[in-house]
Amino acid sequence: MKKVKITAKELRAIGFPESPVIPVAMSVVDKFYKFSKKEDVIELLKNVLAQPADYKNDPMLESIALKLLPKEAAHATGIALRESGVPVSIFGPDYIEAGALHQIHMAAKLPISVKAALMPDAHHGYGLPIGGVLATKNAVIPYGVGVDIGCRMCLSVFDMDPDLLKSRTSFFSREIHEATLFGSGAQFKTAEEHEIMDRDEFHSTPLLRSLHGKAWKQLGSSGSGNHFVEFGVVEISEKDEVLGIEPGKYIGLLSHSGSRGLGANIANHYTKLAIEKRKLPNDAKNLAWLDLNEAEGQEYWLAMNLAGDYASACHHIIHRKIARQLGRTPIKMVENHHNFAWKEMLDGEEVIVHRKGATPAGKNVLGIIPGSMSANGFIVKGRGTADAIHSAAHGAGRKLSRSAAISSITHKAMRDALDKAGVTLLGGGLDEAPFAYKDIHAVMAEQTELVDVVGSFAPKIVKMCGDGPKQLRKRNASDGE
């Protein structure tokens, strides 16, 4: 049976007001009525619209009714943390700073928490630490996802001789330059065409509608911070049936970036709402959550998924442009989010799994774990380890803060490290120097029970923003966690 889908346009056509009730209604239909007859669903929604008070205790329609009823003053009450938290599994504790350990144990004490884990690349963040994984019951924490919603990795593997990266360095460098933009707030003069910008969700709330224009101009851009686009050598030692690539060396195109200003604005807007609704102790306030049964939670879930799809579209545009210039179709594309929340089954119940700077590593799920601008990254296959909540590290993890890196690393030292690795750097500041990161091999050694390595990626031509000192003067949310 074809699933029923109600659009914002159809809801407005039957009289629904231009307000947050629209995404709530869309979510309710998708959750409870997707296999009903569309005409019956429309009639039911008309009834709720006409008499919302009759449905305020309805288990399925309550959230719509409450959005349609006159607002009552909200009185948030203080919420206490549990005295002892839910189980926390820590991988590579010797490599993890105390601040990150404190944050994950704090998250484990939330009344909504079910299970937690910390990856070996973890370091301190906002709310959840970077490298933190948290399963919750029917609730989503905006800062548990992070500011850069849907930040992700994308790798295209081309059946081309890697020696071309040496003999035609200028050509490959130019293709990266022309395919994307770097820099905080960077926008294209001419908007890229992609079906993501036609998504009905962009017209479902005033917030998303206000972000549509800028999101379109940033579509396909890469931002700053630790985001990059790079060419390198993919090496496959033996064929893995899931990856499906024959042994050998190939040219790889690897990108890392997220949802730009779209995700940052969504994250900040809903974090503020969550903090207003859930009065947690001050040192835990960034862990404030939204219940998925309430309107704000449904709005955030819709917006978060849109931002994740937008981030994916940005990568696909970059890879499509470059593939066209290479005159090749990739033989394989591997990609994964690492700042997102998913509905998953855990110990027989549905939970919301937040992975903030963590790679999904369910059984046989492919992913990419990068190193640094000079260190190898790895193509991995998840082992589905329950203690890790089916997750793994998302990179080497920072060893030095940006300010510490800039003050302690010299340009000569960075150049020497890049020369030794045979890397051409097109842009990237001292804040992203190889020495600012943990040893990726040590991190990988701490998660052999989480993933199997099925290939490697050695960076050779690296493009980053390189505006580190400016970032330190004013933190740019769109390039945050």
| CA–CA dist 270, 263 (Å, integer) | 11
174 within 8 A of 216, measured Cβ to Cβ? no
Question: How much is the CA Rg of the chain, to the nearest whole Å?
Answer: 23
Tokens for 218, please give them.
């940033």
Strand 228-236, strand 451-463: pairing = antiparallel
Q: Confirm whether 394 is a catalytic residue.
A: yes
Strand 228-236, strand 248-257: pairing = antiparallel
DSSP-based three-state secondary structure for 211: helix
**Contacting residues for 125 by C-beta, under 8 A, at least 6 apart:** 100, 103, 132, 146, 356, 357, 481
244 within 8 A of 286, measured Cβ to Cβ? no
| CA–CA dist 364, 166 (Å, integer) | 34
**Contacting residues for 173 by C-beta, under 8 A, at least 6 apart:** 424, 426, 461, 463
Per the residue annotation, which of 105, 177, 394, 411 is the catalytic one?
A: 394
339 within 8 A of 357, measured Cβ to Cβ? yes
For CA atoms 181, 187, 190, 193, give the dihedral sign.
Answer: positive
- Active site (catalytic) residues: 394
